[in-house]
Amino acid sequence: MTESEARTVDVFSRVSPAVAYIQVAQLASAGFSPKPMEMPAGAGSGFVWDMQGHIVTNFHVVSGGQRALREVPRRVRVSLSGGEKQIDAEVIGYEEDKDIAVLKIDRGAVPFVPVEVGTSSDLRVGQTVLAIGNPFGLDYTLTTGVVSALGREVQGVSGRPIKGCIQTDAAINPGNSGGPLLDSRGRLIGVNTAIYAPGGTGGNVGIGFAVPVDTVRRVVNQIIRYGPNTRPTLGINVLDDALRVQLARSLRRPLDGALVVEVIQGSPAAAAGLQPSERTPFGETVVGDLITAVGSVRISQNEDLLCAVEEAEPDRPLELTIARGGDSRRTQKLTVTPVARKSVRAAGTGMGGTRWGR
Catalytic residues: 60, 99, 177
Q: Alpha-carbon distance 268 to 165, whole Å?
A: 31
Q: Alpha-carbon distance 288 to 35, whole Å?
A: 55
Specify the amino acid at residue 269.
A
DSSP state of 120: S
DSSP state of 117: B
Percent helix, strand and coil across the chain, each to the nearest 5: 20, 40, 40
- Looking at the chain, list the stretches that DSSP marks H as alpha helix, in order from N- to C-terminal side: 3-15, 59-63, 213-226, 241-251, 268-272, 302-310
- Give the residue from 214, 183, 177, 215 showing the smallest Cα distance to 195: 177
Q: Alpha-carbon distance 211 to 57, whole Å?
A: 11
- Give the residue from 51, 48, 24, 45 showing the smallest Cα distance to 108: 51
- Looking at 259-355, list the stretches that DSSP marks H as alpha helix, in order from N- to C-terminal side: 268-272, 302-310
Specify burial of residue 171 (Cβ count, 10 A radius: 0-12, 13-18, 19+).
buried
User: How far is Cα of residue 271 from the mean position of the Cα atoms in its chain?
Assistant: 29
Query: Residue 158 in contact with residue 97, Cβ under 8 Å?
Result: yes
Cβ-Cβ contacts under 8 Å for 343 (sequence gap 6 or more)? none
Query: Residue 117 in contact with residue 187, Cβ under 8 Å?
Result: yes
Q: Alpha-carbon distance 230 to 343, whole Å?
A: 8
SS3 label, residue 129: strand
SS3 label, residue 84: coil
